[in-house]
Amino acid sequence: MDVRFTKAGTPLAVRYHGKIWAVAAEPLHWFTRDSWWETRQSVPVGIGNVVDIEHWRVQVRLGGSDSQLRTFELRREPLAEKWLLEAITDN
DSSP letters, 11-64, are EEEEEETTEEEEE-S--EEEEEE--HHHHT----TT----SEEEEEEEEEEETT
Tell me the per-residue pLDDT of 16-39, one tens digit each, with 9 for 90 and over.
999 999 999 999 999 998 776 666
Residue ranges per domain, the chain? 2-90
Q: pLDDT per residue over 35-84, tens digit each? A: 766 665 666 677 767 788 999 999 999 977 788 999 999 999 887 889 99
